[in-house]
Structure 1
Amino acid sequence: GGDDGEEGEEGEIAALLKQYGVLASQLPKGAEKLDPKALGRFLEAYSNKLSKWLIDTWPAWRDKVLADPEFGYKLMVEETVGLGLAMSGTVAARGKDLLKELDFFFTDCAVGAVINFVIIWLLAPSVGKAAATTGLAAAVGNLPAFALAEGKYSVAQRVGAGVYKGSLFSACGFLGSLGGTTLAYILFQVRKLLNPEGTQAAALPNVLANSLGWGSFMFVSTNPRYQLINGIEQVMYKALPTGAGKAGSLVLRTGNNMVGGATWVLWARFIGLQKQSEDQGNGKGKKK
């Protein structure tokens, strides 16, 4: 019976390779270990020219896609729909001053895109992880990619993954806001030097307070929301056809970005970073 099962899998794999026009020798390192269903999802990602180039040239990207073939799709959703929602909020907040403040707008875009990438990257599982040694490095290396990840992990390991990834998110939010807000101040001063009379006073937030606010928000709001989304997607992609799973992922992540925008306003008010009358001007659509 076992031999029949192996022969059946080999037949499925051969059919998949033929369907996608790929020779077994052309598969990237690690792909030969995938079961037929996972290989089918991987080959779909590998059939995209950009995705194929990234897999072939960037080993870390390859290891992410081998562990989660929808990794690139999830990143694309966050960098298009998610960032688009955030930037639409920025456009609405700036209104008629948008063209005069394109430098600020593009700063917001750049910071948002980097934070999106870091969030998806940190929560994505990866194959080929180096073997854990001892001490703290071993403990961190043995944590799941996210709290609800498949596998035989203890409750302590799952809680540890949530706290560890949340801490990384917090640092990312703090540094992203610190860099973005500082750059906004620099751009404002440059504009003042170039055009003193035409530059209006900008309502820029306090650099340190804003950065601490974003760091704490990434831990208490962004982290649990994305941990939950990854857990739901994990079940969806196993239970549904790939197309349906991707549609569900799009809905989930779009809704999450909308929830993120609302909860940021509530959090900023709660910690005293924004007053209600300032939300329109200072919320600026960052929806992580």
Structure 2
Amino acid sequence: MAFHYAAMPSSSSSSLSGVSSQPPLHLPRLRSPHQASRRLSALPFSRALPLPLRLRLRIPRPQLPPLPLAFSHGGGGDNDGDDNNNNGGGDGEGDGGAPDNRREALFVLAQLGRKLESLPSDLAAAVEGGRVTGEIVRRFAEMEGSALLRWLLQFQGFRERLLADDLFLAKLAMECGVGVIAKTAAEYEKRRENFVKEIDIVIADVVMAIVADFMLVYLPAPTVSLQPPLATNAGHIANFFHNCPDNAFQIALAGRSYSILQRLGAILRNGAKLFTVGTSASLIGTGVTNALIKARKAVDKELDDEVEDIPVLSTSVAYGVYMAVSSNLRYQILAGVIEQRMLEPLLHNHKLLLSALCFAVRTGNTFLGSLLWVDYARWVGVQKVQEEA
């Protein structure tokens, strides 16, 4: 701001002895607000913004320092040209955060005193491609402190799920642990007085449950995608399903997004897998049950007319369809909506309470699924109600 100076009166100068040779003192003259605003209008920013905001907008964003410790020897640099992620999602936000994710993950690696080559190859490639955040890298390093988790992290499927949900292993144990009890209770609730007469069918259902429970938790669980992009010559259908999330309702990581079509694709893809799992589990279960029935008939000849063999093929296909539709939707909603979007944000710092609520919700879901299966099996005709003698 320019200032105008006025000389002091000569009478003041003459009254000062010994300093008359010094230049006169000048005082600034204040301008009117109207004159000041005309000066400010010449500045190179818009008058529509308040002055503090204009000044802040001109401050450059600080850059993280180079992290040579995080790079494997001979590679790395800060070349963002390779940060494109073909696994990104379809609603336009896709890979905007890939370079930032990469810098953040490398920064965490440098803090931990580790190099990129110390990570599994798929995780290292995901860091280079900006597909994982620094929090994921930190979680991986913390999990390596446990002998059991360190062993499970060697397997890609477990690695993707454990990094997305640190309670995944506990949920898997919950599901398998309560599966037999909850399903047996549901069978008794539906069959009541016929429970003993239909015990062979009950055994078949429980055996199928034991085989299927693991996959019902494993397949719909949210994951951190560590898969590399498909080859450029891959078909459109393969590329589409490759880019779909493992859970249709899971929260996308920073810099990633999924379109509605991709989330629907996750339901279809998991449905196809669960159909295969359900059919295979039913083949095992009905095969075991029929073997038990034949063994009982060999001991007790009176059972020939009372107990019938279970139709293997029709029961297996019916159970596969049930898992592809009912189980698929229920477990995807449970893992992606109730647990990840509702319970986890609310009880993030209270793991014990979070585990207890997950246990209660999963137990109820298992019991509900058993009830629905009995009704469905009777509706399609693969199981019949035994009449009173």
Which bracket does the TM-score occupy, shorter chain normalised?
0.7 to 0.9
**Which residue of the partner structure matches residue 249 of structure 2?**
148
1:241 aligns with 2:241: no
Pick from 292, 301, 304 the counterpart of residue 187 of structure 1. 292
**TM-score, scaled relative to structure 2:** 0.56
| Matches of 2:144 and 2:180, distance apart in 1 | 25
Contact 2:187 2:371 in 1 (8 A): no
Which one-letter code corresponds to 1:114 in the other structure?
Answer: V
**Which residue of the partner structure matches residue 218 of structure 2?**
121
> Does 152-161 or 29-38 show the bigger shift?
29-38
**Which residue of the partner structure matches residue 272 of structure 1?**
381
Which one-letter code corresponds to 1:240 in the other structure?
Answer: L
| Matches of 1:215 and 1:227, distance apart in 2 | 17
Q: What's the % identity of the aligned pairs? A: 28
Report how far residue 170 of structure 1 moved: 1.9
Pick from 219, 231, 237 the counterpart of residue 324 of structure 2. 219
SS at match of 2:153: helix
Report how far residue 177 of structure 1 moved: 1.0
Quickly say closer, same or farther: Cα 1:166–1:52, change in 2 above 3 A: same
Quickly say closer, same or farther: Cα 1:82–1:190, change in 2 above 3 A: closer
**Which residue of the partner structure matches residue 79 of structure 1?**
176
Quickly say closer, same or farther: Cα 1:36–1:77, change in 2 above 3 A: farther
1:260 aligns with 2:369: yes
Report how far residue 234 of structure 1 moved: 1.5
SS at match of 2:251: coil
Quickly say closer, same or farther: Cα 1:158–1:172, change in 2 above 3 A: same
Deviations 1:181-204 (A, max 9, x none): 1232133334544x3548665344
| Matches of 1:272 and 1:108, distance apart in 2 | 15
Which structure is larger by alpha-carbon Rg, 1 or 2? 2
Report how far residue 231 of structure 1 moved: 1.5
Contact 1:42 1:69 in 2 (8 A): no
Report how far residue 91 of structure 1 moved: 7.7
Pick from 40, 51, 65 the counterpart of residue 149 of structure 2. 51
**Which residue of the partner structure matches residue 20 of structure 1?**
none
**TM-score, scaled relative to structure 1:** 0.72
**Which residue of the partner structure matches residue 286 of structure 1?**
none
| Matches of 1:191 and 1:246, distance apart in 2 | 42
Contact 1:173 1:214 in 2 (8 A): yes
Deviations 1:252-286 (A, max 9, x none): 211111211221223223323345x449xxxxxxx
Contact 2:186 2:371 in 1 (8 A): no
| Matches of 2:177 and 2:114, distance apart in 1 | 34
Higher relative contact order (CA 8 A, sep 6+): 1
Q: Which structure has greater helix proportion? A: 1
**Which residue of the partner structure matches residue 282 of structure 1?**
none
**Which residue of the partner structure matches residue 98 of structure 2?**
none
Quickly say closer, same or farther: Cα 1:45–1:204, change in 2 above 3 A: farther
| Matches of 1:255 and 1:180, distance apart in 2 | 23
Report how far residue 229 of structure 1 moved: 0.7
Contact 1:169 1:219 in 2 (8 A): yes
RMSD over equivalenced CA pairs, Å: 4.0
